[in-house]
């Protein structure tokens, strides 16, 4: 019997290279060793964007297409949409009943989200009941499949702590060691910075998307920050102060290529424009296959819809079993 992995992403739109390197590559490898459940957390998206749902469906499709293109394989993993597994909503109710209010109130990630919402960027939004339930709903996601491990970023670990507390409380209250205490598996989220040297993010307009074309990627890479002290091509360069381009080389180049770039840069034999053109080619060749596959899915949305429908049906089968046992333990009618 394989151990179980559950992880999800809020469908906020097309994913970027930070998601690929930090999260999806990791998921792709986990698929061979674990029974994996990967889902688009569309209810979680609603906790803050309930008033902006016009792109929710497309965003969900986009996220799933990115996963598929990157090698998340519906033959190996269960790929589903959270809201297509309504059993999660019922489990959420039982878990909400046994969760003390102060457990969610002191959740640091939730506090951060609340802070952002109150600022101008968040348009001074009030905090709604659903957002307060964010960690409980996340616990329902995880406990629905009685997961052993949850691959997440460091910012999500507090939520997993609450999940463990809720699982323990459930087991104590209803007299059976039914739910496991899931453990986080940390993603490496700081692998790649944005083109401007800040954290890569869609809202900062400094990202390269998995789905960008080779031309779009090249254009973006040409804007990457380099050694700011360098004005002319034959000025001696300082790769370690080349804020973005050289860092990308270290991610995408071979050892030999990187030492070659370093050498030529330091000796003033390599201009930054030429250097970045080469870098863009390197990135484009790494993503060529992924982008071809992505294009195929874009042109065949019915295949993606079918994968989502079948994955969600599979997820429901397992969820129904867990839920039947939960109803029995809670002594529902």
Binding footprint of ligand TRP on the chain (CB under 6 A)? 6-10, 41, 44, 138, 141-142, 150, 152, 156
Question: Residue 239 binds what, of ligand SF4, ligand TRP, none (CB under 5 to 8 Å, by partner type)?
Answer: ligand SF4
Question: Residue 131 binds what, of ligand TRP, ligand SF4, none (CB under 5 to 8 Å, by partner type)?
Answer: none
CA 39 to chain CA centroid, nearest Å: 10
Q: Pick the closer one to ligand SF4 by CB: 84 or 275.
A: 275
Which string of x and - marks every residue 211-250 that binds ligand SF4 (by CB under 6 A)? Answer: ---------------xx--x------x-x--x--xx----
Residues in contact with ligand SF4, total (CB under 6 A)? 14
Q: Pick the closer one to ligand TRP by CB: 151 or 237.
A: 151
**Structural tokens at position 173:** 């209250």
Closest CA to 248 of 275, 210, 219: 275
Phi–psi pair at 78, nearest 5 degrees: -90, 115
- Euclidean distance between CA atoms 135 and 91, whole angstroms: 13
Residue 49 Cβ, how far from ligand TRP at the closest point, in Å? 12
Element (H, E) at 324: helix 301-330
Closest CA to 303 of 6, 29, 79: 79
Residue 180 Cβ, how far from ligand TRP at the closest point, in Å? 14
**Structural tokens at position 66:** 């990115």
Half-sphere exposure of 151 (CA within 13 A, CB side): 25
Question: Residue 41 binds what, of ligand SF4, ligand TRP, none (CB under 5 to 8 Å, by partner type)?
Answer: ligand TRP
In the chain, the DSSP E strands lie at 4-9, 35-40, 78-81, 149-152, 183-186
Ramachandran assignment for 183, one of left (phi > 0), alpha (psi -120 to 50 degrees), beta (any other)? beta
Residue 265 Cβ, how far from ligand SF4 at the closest point, in Å? 3
Residue 189 Cβ, how far from ligand SF4 at the closest point, in Å? 24
- Euclidean distance between CA atoms 16 and 28, whole angstroms: 16
Q: Pick the closer one to ligand SF4 by CB: 64 or 272.
A: 272
DSSP 147-192: -SEEEE-GGGHHHHHHHHHHHHHHHHHHTS--S---EEEE--TTS-
The yes or no reply on residue 193 touching ligand SF4 (CB under 6 A) is no
The yes or no reply on residue 275 touching ligand SF4 (CB under 6 A) is yes
Question: Residue 237 binds what, of ligand SF4, ligand TRP, none (CB under 5 to 8 Å, by partner type)?
Answer: ligand SF4
Contact positions vs ligand SF4 (CB under 6 A): 226-227, 230, 237, 239, 242, 245-246, 261, 265, 270, 272, 275-276
């Amino acid at each position: 019997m394989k151990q179980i992995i559950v992880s999800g992403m809020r469908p906020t739109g097309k994913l970027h290279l930070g998601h690929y390197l930090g999260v999806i590559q990791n998921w792709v490898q986990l698929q061979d060793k674990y029974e994996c459940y990967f889902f688009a957390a569309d209810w979680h998206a609603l906790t803050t964007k309930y008033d902006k749902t016009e792109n929710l469906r497309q965003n969900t499709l986009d996220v799933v297409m990115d996963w598929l293109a990157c090698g998340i394989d519906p033959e190996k993993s269960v790929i589903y949409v959270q809201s297509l597994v309504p059993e999660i909503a019922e489990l959420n109710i039982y878990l909400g009943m046994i969760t003390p209010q102060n457990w969610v109130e002191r959740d640091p990630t939730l506090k951060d989200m609340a802070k952002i919402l109150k600022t101008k960027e968040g348009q001074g939004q009030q905090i709604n009941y659903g957002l307060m339930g964010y960690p409980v709903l996340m616990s329902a996601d995880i406990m629905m499949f009685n997961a052993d491990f949850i691959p997440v970023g460091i910012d999500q670990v507090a939520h997993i702590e609450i999940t463990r507390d809720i699982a323990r409380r459930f087991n104590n209250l209803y007299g059976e060691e039914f739910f496991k205490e899931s453990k986080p598996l940390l993603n490496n989220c700081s692998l790649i910075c944005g083109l401007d040297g800040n954290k890569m993010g869609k809202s900062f307009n400094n990202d390269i998307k998995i789905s960008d074309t080779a031309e779009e990627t090249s254009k973006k890479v040409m804007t990457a920050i380099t050694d700011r002290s360098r004005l002319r091509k034959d000025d001696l360069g300082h790769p370690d102060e080349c804020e973005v381009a050289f860092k990308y080389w270290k991610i995408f180049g071979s050892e030999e290529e990187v030492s070659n770039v370093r050498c030529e840069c330091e000796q003033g034999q390599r201009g930054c424009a030429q250097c970045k053109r080469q870098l863009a080619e390197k990135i484009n060749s790494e993503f060529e296959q992924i982008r071809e596959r992505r294009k195929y899915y874009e042109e065949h949305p019915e295949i993606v819809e079918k994968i989502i429908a079948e994955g969600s049906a599979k997820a429901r089968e397992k969820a129904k079993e867990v839920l039947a046992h939960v109803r029995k333990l809670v002594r529902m009618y």
